Amino acid sequence: KDLEHARFITRLKTVMPVDANVVGSVLKHLKWYILLLLIIVIFGISYSNLSQGSDEESSRHLAERVRSLEAQIASMTRNGALQERLHVQQPDIQAKEFMPVKFLNEQSRKRILVTGGAGFVGSHLVDELMSLGHEVVVVDNFFTGRKRNVEHWVGHPNFELINHDVVEPLMIEVDQIYHLACPASPPHYMYNPIKTIKTSAIGTLNMLGLAKRVRARVLLASTSEVYGDPKEHPQKESYWGHVNPIGPRACYDEGKRVAETMCYAYAKQEKVQVRVARIFNTFGPRMHMTDGRVVSNFILQALRGQPLTIYGKGLQTRSFQYVSDLVSGLIKLMNSDVSDPVNLGNPDEYSIMDFANLIREEIASVTQNKQPPIQNKEAMEDDPQRRKPDISRAKETLQWQPVVPVREGIRKTIQYFQKELEAETKSVKAL
């Protein structure tokens, strides 16, 4: 045996150049390897038989349970109990009804992005664009916007809602961009001045970059605040403004001014199609009741029977337009060939004191209560003394001008605020 073993090793070495000692060790212990393999096979067969028996027992138990349930269902069906239970548990699901939407073919229908689309103005713009038959994508971080402003469109095939901050880049394919994203009321934009500046500057930069990539047209919702405390009256688009760059309102005023600068830099250097709307005071339903603006402050205070707060003597003037007029102007400007800035506002000018008296009269006629008093407080820093738009350019190039009288708009806004207060009262009582 030793001689045969030696001859085998010699032949193996000629065929495979391996270590003879390793091969010898393997052959020496081969019988133990075979024995271990047999034990594993026997154990596997035994475990398989046990599992099969367990599965058969489980199957028998499951079959018995199914037969028991079938018997119970048959019994309940005979005495009507099943129908009663199903009637109670079945939710009342109805197809969601949307506002009427015009049908547009592929060539006419546009995919439109509205930043800040869940806000006051943005949500009204979304309503109009949807009704015209376009596909609308709303981007909002809900700092001042509210989902309830656009929830009536959720589920519509032409509508999409994205929770996103425009300070971060956005990758999306669109044909037009309405860039409205930015806090617009003093308490909101003063709450975080740095964030306000970033939204106006970086947010606008991101939207212009997007417009450049996808060759979309972009409309910037600028503001009459770029005129500051004007020395020219009424204010034309050619007026450069009178702004305090380090005052409490500067984060908003200068943010919008630099946003306009970037728009025209992209238009000149990158050939991006830009439109700039300088928006004057706007009011209507979906305003925040506590946003600190003149209209919302006066209406809320009057409905609650509180004194109307006027900062200063109330001689400063403002011009107020209803939100539907603004939306009409924005859409006309976007679809026009006008690339210069355009004022969108109502040239009817009111002193703050006269406007407060108008609100008092309208509230008194609705509530049948006596008119609330007026309370004067210290004037606010950098508060513009006169504000009135010259809308000659809008009239000539867009054939646009406000059509909703201020009093009519105020009545609609009062109705909205009343419903909001009623809902708030019911919610408090429910708690």
Q: Give the bridge partners for 275, in sequence order.
A: 219
Quick one: which of 354, 356, 348 has its CA closest to 402?
Answer: 348
281-313 in b/e form (b: 16+ CB < 10 A) is bbbbbbbbeebebbbbbbbbbbbeeeebebeee
Q: What is the rounded distance in angstroms from the CA atom of residue 115 to the CA atom of residue 182?
A: 9
216-231 in b/e form (b: 16+ CB < 10 A) is bbbbbbbbbbbbbbbe
Which of 178, 189, 227, 252 is catalytic? The answer is 252
Query: Which helix (H) or strand (E) is 376 found in, with range?
Result: strand 374-377
- Per the omega criterion (within 30 degrees of 0), is the bond before 234 cis? yes
Q: What is the rounded distance in angstroms from the CA atom of residue 184 to the CA atom of residue 293?
A: 9
**Residue 224 DSSP code:** G
The order of strands in the sheet holding 342-344 is: 159-163, 135-140, 111-115, 176-179, 217-223, 274-279, 342-344
Contacts of 6 (CB under 8 A, 6+ apart): none
Q: What angle do CA 216, 220, 223 make, to 5 degrees?
A: 175
In SS3 terms, 154-166 reads as: CCCCCEEEEECCC
Question: How does strand 349-351 pair with strand 317-319?
Answer: antiparallel
Handedness of CA 405, 406, 409, 415 (dihedral sign): negative
Is residue 252 flagged as an active site residue?
Answer: yes
Question: How does strand 111-115 pair with strand 317-319?
Answer: unpaired
362, 207 Cβ separation under 8 angstroms? no
Q: Which residues are catalytic?
A: 252
